[in-house]
Structure 1
């Protein structure tokens, strides 16, 4: 009974945080909900929760994955270069698969994921949406290089530091794809010079 009350309390807190967080983005709301769950689990040893840092990785990976899909769709629509369009298609396909895996994993672990991209990624999307043709291609390719370098660092760190074995396995499984994406987009960048 005590466990049910704690779960209801957590769900209420998470919902309340999202409702009261008018200026918070979806990623911040997910992080807040996961922190509340982890803090409550620490107080009640009968509850289990994923480590706060592990949950933060899951939220960041989900946010980044959703952004890759949305920006990939933009590339499919707006790119002038066929290689950039094809790369956008690959982003939609590969990151949609990874996103589905992360959603299932998060659900099994009780991790709240963001419902939409955060404000930083939305700004990138808005900026790219305002461009077209070769200007779009150049900006998108540059963003993908920088973004994949950051993602690779995050995922490499995750493979070393995550406590949850399933999240660690996800990071290990996804890392080669991210490295392949970086190599691919770098070749596209070099061919555009």
Structure 2
């Protein structure tokens, strides 16, 4: 019995040491990860916005779609310039060719409701992601970018909440 307890204690200590030795991401990796995620979010919003401009029945949904194309297109250009200045490479999969959700693309008469739902969820997530980096991010330039984008994202979130009430 004593051997079993000693063995279990030894295993627990080894496991703790193994966990403690896992390297933490360096600040550059954290900034790169944030910029990749932000780029994907921008391109998803632009792609879905273009679809809304073409397919939405509700004028407010179409207007919101155009706002996504304009605002997130501009944000993507700023993001790419920042990444270039920081020598951070954004992989091609995260900087182009993002397609809208196939369910949204094939929504038909349900397009407006599905688009609004997707925009609500997407902007809640984006606001949280940008708030997190704006407060805990290690790279000061990327943190500034996140802080500068937050008011626009929060405006989008508030606007889509109003539109959601109209579309229901």
Bin the TM-score by the shorter chain.
0.7 to 0.9
Q: Match of 1:111, SS?
A: coil
| Residue equivalent to 1:172 | 147
Match 2:130 to one of 140, 152, 155 = 155
Match 1:126 to one of 74, 84, 102 = 102
- The 1-side partners of 2:91 and 2:53 are apart by 24
Task: Count residues in correspondence.
Answer: 142
Counterparts in 2 of 1:82 and 1:114: CA distance versus 1, 3 Å: farther
Alignment of 1:103-142 (within 5 A): 103-116=80-93, 122=99, 125-133=101-109, 135-142=110-117
Q: Match of 2:92, SS?
A: coil
Larger RCO, structures 1/2 (Cα 8 Å, 6+ apart): 2
Counterparts in 2 of 1:74 and 1:136: CA distance versus 1, 3 Å: same
Runs of 4+ aligned residues of structure 1 deviating over 2 Å after TM superposition are 114-118
Task: Give the root-mean-square deviation of aligned CA atoms.
Answer: 1.9
Question: Could you tell me whether the CA contact under 8 Å between 1:155 and 1:175 is conserved in 2?
Answer: yes
| Residue equivalent to 1:146 | 121
- The 2-side partners of 1:189 and 1:114 are apart by 34
Alignment of 1:61-76 (within 5 A): 61-76=38-53
Match 2:158 to one of 183, 186, 190 = 183
- The 2-side partners of 1:180 and 1:132 are apart by 28
Q: Say whether residues 1:100 and 2:77 are aligned partners.
A: yes
